[in-house]
Structure 1
Amino acid sequence: MNQIKLYDTTLRDGTQAEEVSFLVADKIRIAQLLDDLGIHYIEGGWPGSNPKDIAFFKDIKKVTLKQAKIAAFGSTRRANTTPDKDNNIRTLVQAEPDTVTIFGKTWDFHVHEALRISLEENLELIYDSLAYLKQHVGEVVYDAEHFFDGYKANPEYALKTLQAAQQAGADCIVLCDTNGGTLPHELPAIIEQVKQTVATPLGIHTHNDGECAVANSLIAVAHGIVHVQGTINGFGERCGNANLCSIIPALQLKMGKNCVGEGQLKSLRQLSRTIYELANMVPNKHQAYVGNSAFAHKGGVHVSAIQRHPETYEHIRPELVGNCTRVLVSDLSGRSNILAKAEEFNINLDSKDPVTLEILENIKDLENKGFQFEGAEASFELLMRRALGTLRNYFSVIGFRVIDTKRHEDEKPVSEATVQVKVGGRIEHTAAEGNGPVNALDNALRKALENFYPRLKEIRLYDYKVRVLPAGKGTASFTRVLIESGDKESRWGTVGVSDNIIDASYHALVDALQYKLLKDQDN
């Protein structure tokens, strides 16, 4: 397979996304993970722009990487100065990276309006900066900013900027779709013209403003590009950068291009989720290849087919990228879904067993009332075990009361819950306060049950979602509550539905506690 060099800019371009920020320690950890994946170049930041990036280049020298080269990013020299006196250029050299990447203007509109210099002067900026860096750094990459827009506006001048970079000795010239508006059908003719003009190896850097960043990157490789830039999860300014989590498997598994090792590719999903976690963001479940829903099947016909031949509804084997097939349960479900989920939970069900049909009818009835078991698989497992009569009765709630009291206009309401639970022959009556009625109820339930089941102290509530179900009744509508809970080992989702938000929350909370006890029993 042909070798394609992967250039990751998550730590620089990725952090320009509206909600993304990393500490220096985070950036070091991400660099190590990218190296483990097999990324060839890791762009650590712009050392001339902020102290955090300067600290990264200092600290990364203490880390031994397996293969990745660390790249520093910057711009061509300023007008009316020389490279050796330009602070940006000097800082790039002082950072002592393996590679330096600088960008320069390709679009004549930017030369006139942003730099306010002549077209000829801009060519000198590009040449001087690259020639100077080549004398002081082992490898220099040139990012031709706004190349495709520049080419469409003035192809002759855009190509001259690339020739200036080649004459200065750039090791790679990267064609950038900086505004992200180029469409895939436009690339081939432009890239072919570039290849006739310069002999330097070419790269591609695309943004996703037209939802074409991945497609444009793949089209570019099909036309001879050998260096691909992007970010993990497509993080980046505005609509993001080209998503390497989609590009890498597409190149490797579909286009026959050698990027990373087979074992490294299997770590792709884990890397994706770790970087979401470090960015304190919820993973995109619908993300291609690595998302939770990427290989999730809901329709009964699909499930029946994939159990015989997975390729009927899966474009690749999910295990190749560290993902897995998931069978969802909903009112679209058939017997195949129920059997597949039972197998997943190590529950022995027969397709002809009347219990299977009972569970199926129960699910359809519940979902008709507003229940949703996608994202609430713990509630579904409990439902199956109740139908089979195999669920131990760990506890029962005799009753509860929740009171919200607002004593003064300028004070927050105080929430208090009291519960009565029965475990075996004993009844526990407990009260607790909380930040809101649901939190108070959760605290009271745990307080009552932890005397009997101390391991319930391990549970954390990670997410709480409320959705008012459309029923045209305004404040009298039904409410669905989805709760994500977890302990040190795993996370699980539970659901409750009621015309009373506290009651819906109560059912989801009780299922979460029941599931924890069931999980610990099985272990």
Structure 2
Amino acid sequence: MKSVFLYDTTLRDGTQGEGFQLSRLDKLRIAERLDRFGIDYIEGGWPGSNPKDIEFFKEARKLDLKHARLAAFGSTRRANTAVEEDPQVRLLIEAETPVVTIFGKSWELHVTEVLRTTPAENRAMIRDTVRFLKEHGREVVYDAEHFFDGYKDSAEHALATLEAAAEGGADVLVLCDTNGGTLPSEITAICTAVKERLPDTPFGIHTHNDCELGVANAIAAVRAGGTQVQGTINGYGERTGNCNLTSVIPILQLKMGHEVVPDLSGLQSLSYFVDDVSNNPHFARAPFIGKTAFAHKGGMHVNAVQKLARSYEHIEPAEVGNRQHILVSELSGQSNILIKARELGLELEKGSPEATAVLSRVKELEHAGYSFEAAGGSLELLIRRQMGNYEKPFDLKEFHTSYRLYRDGHQPVCEATVKLYVGEVAEYTVAEGHGVVNALDKALRKALLPFYPEIEEVSLLDYKVRIIDGHDHTAAKTRVLVVSGDGERNWGTVGVSENIIEASWIAIVDSIDLFLQRRGSRAQNGDTSGGPAA
């Protein structure tokens, strides 16, 4: 029998976080994905709070959930109001979800100063609402808001509110660290006290990350006997966020032996899906599922993981859908270069002149300001050049860019000219663009298209600029990172120069050059039959 259940509140508590917004359709898509992954409970929102959530619950009735149970969220009845007459409680019933989660006040401060009622009436509000929902056939989750703060202020009052929920028939009592200020040792002690006071009613945990202890506090509660963990995918939520399910799930399953989901390998893709749907960037350094979670950069580390991965990896990356990343930088040893070359399908021999040359060139370029961690495309070209299986697809003669600003209201004009050779054939092209870099990119493509029509498939997806050695002010070096794609795969290339235009040119040229190298493209102009092959 399952010992710990997962309760996801991404669609409700997660949307209270800054920068995290979901449409009705977004919420439906995420709910289906959570169900497919194996989440036990999905909190859909508060039916009484806004029209979007009301519409969500109407549409959610059509979802064919295979595993998860959908929960509507709300509060206890109002003070001095019959539960049958409270419109907010009625909306919870009308949502027609199998589970209803309600919160009540555990902290006497909130009872007397916020609700402006008595502790006895507060307990009645909790008891009446839980009982009413149970009479309507709902599974009831009772969220004890501010429970830990309330317990530390008055343990007897906080425990009495839980007893009221249990008397009403609550299926689980969830202890909430609403302000996120409780320490794991306190969580353990207080959860133990709750279990002793109410041994017959299961309890769960709802933590926030204000002290960066959301996951640690959830684990502490489970160790003390908690059977439900609430949280959000990627830790989205109010202030600094909620307990991060993408961290707590693998800890529960891989470290503590609780089988909480049937297949962990979909964890990273679930994390990325929620980021993408909510239009948020992926957090590269996230434990378990982040891009750098299993990234190795130091030469000694890379040499070790090449021999025995678990020497520097606490789990197998594939268990959570991730993979090992070998980085190349000035800290690299030959092991980094060899593994990276193998990933790219290029074979380098350890100790060979080529491997030594690649490593030497990488360190030289990194010293000059290059970074290959996000520019695997430029690294691949560097390796190809040192191995001798590279031929330039074209030679640049010159390029020029200009920006003309008119004072008569005319739109500014950005223009670039490029003169290059493909074999013995000279091409001289001019193009306008939205900015000088865009104009330069267009002029280069215009010059190459007659010879390499396949570059129509290449799109520039991202463009980032970073200033290096800022103390040199306007004379500082600029690093430009370009991400390109052809519809099937993406690759990053990098350029460095004191001139931002030249740095951009280097990165853009590498991007197209790599595409042509991978395709094994050759110029399609009959006049260049003896010219360079790409």
TM-score, scaled to structure 1? 0.96
Label 1:102 to 1:402 Cα distance change in 2 as closer, same or farther (>3 A): same
* Residues 1:378 and 2:385 aligned together: no
Q: Contact between 1:100 and 1:137, CA under 8 Å: does it hold in 2?
A: no
Partner residue in 1 for 2:107:
107
How does 1:383-398 map onto structure 2 within 5 Å?
A: 383-398=382-397
Partner residue in 1 for 2:462:
463
Partner residue in 2 for 1:489:
488
* Residues 1:278 and 2:290 aligned together: no
Partner residue in 1 for 2:254:
253
Indicate the SS of the match to 2:114: helix
Partner residue in 2 for 1:289:
288
Q: How far does residue 412 in structure 1 lie from its aligned partner after superposition?
A: 6.1
Q: How far does residue 431 in structure 1 lie from its aligned partner after superposition?
A: 2.0
Q: How far does residue 2 in structure 1 lie from its aligned partner after superposition?
A: 5.2
Partner residue in 2 for 1:202:
203
* Residues 1:190 and 2:190 aligned together: yes
Indicate the SS of the match to 1:257: coil
Question: CA-to-partner distance for each residue in 1:196-249, whole Å, 9 max, x for gaps?
Answer: 111211111100000000100111111110100111111111101110000010
Q: How far does residue 71 in structure 1 lie from its aligned partner after superposition?
A: 0.8
Deviates more, 1:102-111 or 1:434-443: 434-443
Partner residue in 1 for 2:67:
67
How does 1:79-478 map onto structure 2 within 5 Å?
A: 79-198=79-198, 199-261=200-262, 264-408=263-407, 413-470=412-469, 472-478=471-477
Q: CA–CA distance in 2 between the matches of 1:451 and 1:54?
A: 57
Q: Contact between 1:415 and 1:433, CA under 8 Å: does it hold in 2?
A: yes
Deviates more, 1:23-32 or 1:455-464: 455-464
The residue type equivalent to 2:97 in the other structure is P
Q: How far does residue 471 in structure 1 lie from its aligned partner after superposition?
A: 5.6
Indicate the SS of the match to 1:19: coil
Question: CA-to-partner distance for each residue in 1:35-69, whole Å, 9 max, x for gaps?
Answer: 11110111111111111111211112222122111
Indicate the SS of the match to 1:204: strand
Q: Contact between 1:145 and 1:178, CA under 8 Å: does it hold in 2?
A: yes
Q: Contact between 2:6 and 2:260, CA under 8 Å: does it hold in 1?
A: yes
Q: How far does residue 487 in structure 1 lie from its aligned partner after superposition?
A: 2.9
Q: Contact between 2:43 and 2:72, CA under 8 Å: does it hold in 1?
A: yes
Q: Contact between 1:2 and 1:256, CA under 8 Å: does it hold in 2?
A: no
Q: CA–CA distance in 2 between the matches of 1:45 and 1:408?
A: 53
The residue type equivalent to 1:378 in the other structure is G
The residue type equivalent to 2:407 in the other structure is H
Q: CA–CA distance in 2 between the matches of 1:411 and 1:467?
A: 31
Q: CA–CA distance in 2 between the matches of 1:469 and 1:227?
A: 48
Question: CA-to-partner distance for each residue in 1:113-156, whole Å, 9 max, x for gaps?
Answer: 22111111111111111111111143110110111111111111
The residue type equivalent to 1:445 in the other structure is L
Q: Contact between 2:42 and 2:68, CA under 8 Å: does it hold in 1?
A: yes
Q: How far does residue 102 in structure 1 lie from its aligned partner after superposition?
A: 0.8
Q: CA–CA distance in 1 between the matches of 2:84 and 2:445?
A: 66
The residue type equivalent to 2:322 in the other structure is N
Question: CA-to-partner distance for each residue in 1:394-448, whole Å, 9 max, x for gaps?
Answer: 2333221110111128676431112223334433322222222112212222233
Q: Unmatched 5+ residue regions in structure 2?
A: 522-534
Q: How many residues align?
A: 520
Label 1:450 to 1:26 Cα distance change in 2 as closer, same or farther (>3 A): farther
The residue type equivalent to 2:205 in the other structure is I
The residue type equivalent to 1:26 in the other structure is D
Partner residue in 2 for 1:56:
56
Q: Contact between 1:376 and 1:493, CA under 8 Å: does it hold in 2?
A: yes
Q: How far does residue 514 in structure 1 lie from its aligned partner after superposition?
A: 1.7
Deviates more, 1:403-412 or 1:416-425: 403-412
TM-score, scaled to structure 2? 0.95
Q: CA–CA distance in 1 between the matches of 2:381 and 2:301?
A: 24
Question: CA-to-partner distance for each residue in 1:292-321, whole Å, 9 max, x for gaps?
Answer: 000000000000000111111101100000
The residue type equivalent to 2:174 in the other structure is V
Label 1:407 to 1:130 Cα distance change in 2 as closer, same or farther (>3 A): same
The residue type equivalent to 2:157 in the other structure is Y
Q: How far does residue 393 in structure 1 lie from its aligned partner after superposition?
A: 2.2
Q: CA–CA distance in 1 between the matches of 2:390 and 2:446?
A: 23
Q: CA–CA distance in 2 between the matches of 1:98 and 1:448?
A: 64
Deviates more, 1:111-120 or 1:381-390: 111-120
Label 1:454 to 1:171 Cα distance change in 2 as closer, same or farther (>3 A): farther
The residue type equivalent to 2:98 in the other structure is D
Question: CA-to-partner distance for each residue in 1:344-372, whole Å, 9 max, x for gaps?
Answer: 11111100211111111101110001000
Q: Contact between 1:17 and 1:236, CA under 8 Å: does it hold in 2?
A: yes
Q: CA–CA distance in 2 between the matches of 1:328 and 1:372?
A: 10
Q: CA–CA distance in 1 between the matches of 2:516 and 2:52?
A: 45
Question: CA-to-partner distance for each residue in 1:450-501, whole Å, 9 max, x for gaps?
Answer: 3433332333333222111116321111111112222322221111100001
Q: How far does residue 267 in structure 1 lie from its aligned partner after superposition?
A: 0.7
Q: CA–CA distance in 1 between the matches of 2:412 and 2:168?
A: 69
The residue type equivalent to 2:253 in the other structure is Q
Q: How far does residue 73 in structure 1 lie from its aligned partner after superposition?
A: 0.8
Q: CA–CA distance in 1 between the matches of 2:292 and 2:219?
A: 23
Question: CA-to-partner distance for each residue in 1:273-332, whole Å, 9 max, x for gaps?
Answer: 111111111101000000000000000000000011111110110000000011000000
Label 1:297 to 1:140 Cα distance change in 2 as closer, same or farther (>3 A): same
Label 1:453 to 1:86 Cα distance change in 2 as closer, same or farther (>3 A): farther
Q: Unmatched 5+ residue regions in structure 1?
A: none
Deviates more, 1:175-184 or 1:129-138: 129-138
The residue type equivalent to 1:237 in the other structure is E
Coordinate RMSD, CA, aligned: 1.6
Q: Contact between 1:93 and 1:137, CA under 8 Å: does it hold in 2?
A: no
What fraction of aligned residue pairs are identical, expressed as a percent?
53
Label 1:212 to 1:409 Cα distance change in 2 as closer, same or farther (>3 A): farther
Q: Contact between 2:80 and 2:121, CA under 8 Å: does it hold in 1?
A: no
Q: CA–CA distance in 1 between the matches of 2:355 and 2:216?
A: 44
Q: CA–CA distance in 2 between the matches of 1:343 and 1:383?
A: 14
Q: CA–CA distance in 2 between the matches of 1:377 and 1:155?
A: 57
Deviates more, 1:431-440 or 1:496-505: 431-440
